[in-house]
Amino acid sequence: MTAGSQYPTLIPLGGQALLVRFGTSLDDAANRRAIDFARLAALADLPGVLEIVPNLVSVLLRFEATVIDFDWLAGEVRLLLSARLETHIPTPVEHAIGVVFDGPDLAELAAGVGLTEAQFIDSHNAQPLRVLATGFAPGFVYLGFHPAELVVPRRTAVRPMVPAGTVLFAAGQTAITATAIPTGWNVIGHTDFANFDASKTPPTLMRAGDSVRFEALS
């Protein structure tokens, strides 16, 4: 039995938020269940719920404590969890993202997994990835999962700042920055795709659960 197939844990965060946790480590099943539950909860119009935020393996429900309390909301959540999820979930949106694979860590990464740079890029782009989570920084997306032979750890040194549109790689995942941030991930390329525009509502294009296919640009 994997962590993702166990009954989720309902945890209070302070007095105004409930976390539905599907696992305590990142795995595919827990991530899928979190994303599916977030989509279902968004359609359910739960009383007093102000905001629904999917994470890697959990979903945050921020609630108005003068309208509903934790125990009442927990009951509503348990009812939702017992519903048949697959009948409610819309088909994921698909995105095609062009990437210039010119990152400073690409050569070392490819060599580390026994591939040429071209082979690494082909393997990286072979399968569409799923948006595992958003929310770490404006427009930032975690995408996964790559097959086991491509899994490498993060760098030991943190780069103080990488620009928006940097394509990152570590821990079996690819990530795309949409603002300048510091990162300990490997830098493998860059994209013109911009997943954050503060002048638009909503300000981001990708949602957890969306499908992303990468194309190598020269």
Partner 1 sequence: MSAAIEILRAGPLVTVQDAGRFGMLAHGISASGPMDRAAFVTAGRALPIAGAAIEFTRAGLSFRFAGDPVQVVLAGGAFELKLNGHHHDWPEIIALSSGDLIDITPGSFGNYGYLRFSQEFDLPPILGSRSTNTITGLGGFYGRSLQVGDRLSLVDGSRFAVETLTPGSRDGGSIRVTWGLHADHFSGDIRQLFLDREMTISTRLNRMGVRLDGGGAVFGGASILSLVSDSIVPGDIQILGDGTPIVLMRDHQPTGGYPRIATIIAADLDRFAQLRPGTAVRFKSVAPACVLKLGSRG
Cβ neighbours, 10 Å, residue 205:
17
Asked whether position 50 contacts partner 1 by CB under 8 A, the answer is yes
Q: What DSSP string runs through 38-59?
A: HHHHHHHT-TTEEEEEE-SSEE
Asked whether position 170 contacts partner 1 by CB under 8 A, the answer is no
* One of 17, 46, 73, 187 touching partner 1 (CB under 8 A): 17
Asked whether position 8 contacts partner 1 by CB under 8 A, the answer is no
State the binding string over 62-101 for partner 1 (x if CB under 8 A, else -). x--xx--xxx------------------------------
| Cβ 129 to partner 1 shortest distance, Å | 18
Asked whether position 56 contacts partner 1 by CB under 8 A, the answer is yes
Asked whether position 12 contacts partner 1 by CB under 8 A, the answer is yes
- C-beta separation of 4 from 28 below 8 A: yes
List b or e across 34-59, with b for residues whose CB sees 16 or more CB atoms inside 10 angstroms: bbbbbbbbeebebebbeebbbbbbbb
Asked whether position 138 contacts partner 1 by CB under 8 A, the answer is yes
Q: How far apart are CA 172 and CA 113, in angstroms?
A: 12
Binding span for partner 1 by CB under 8 A among 46-54, 78-86, 95-103, 118-126: 46-54
Q: How far apart are CA 31 and CA 4, in angstroms?
A: 8
At residue 39, φ and ψ (nearest 5 deg) are -65, -40
Q: Which of residues 20-39 bind partner 1 (CB under 8 A)?
A: 21, 23-26
Q: What DSSP string runs through 170-185?
A: ETTEEEE-SS-EEE-S
* Residues that bind partner 1 in the complex, under the rule CB under 8 A: 11-17, 19, 21, 23-26, 50-58, 60, 62, 65-66, 69-71, 133-140, 178-179, 196, 198-199, 201-204, 207-208
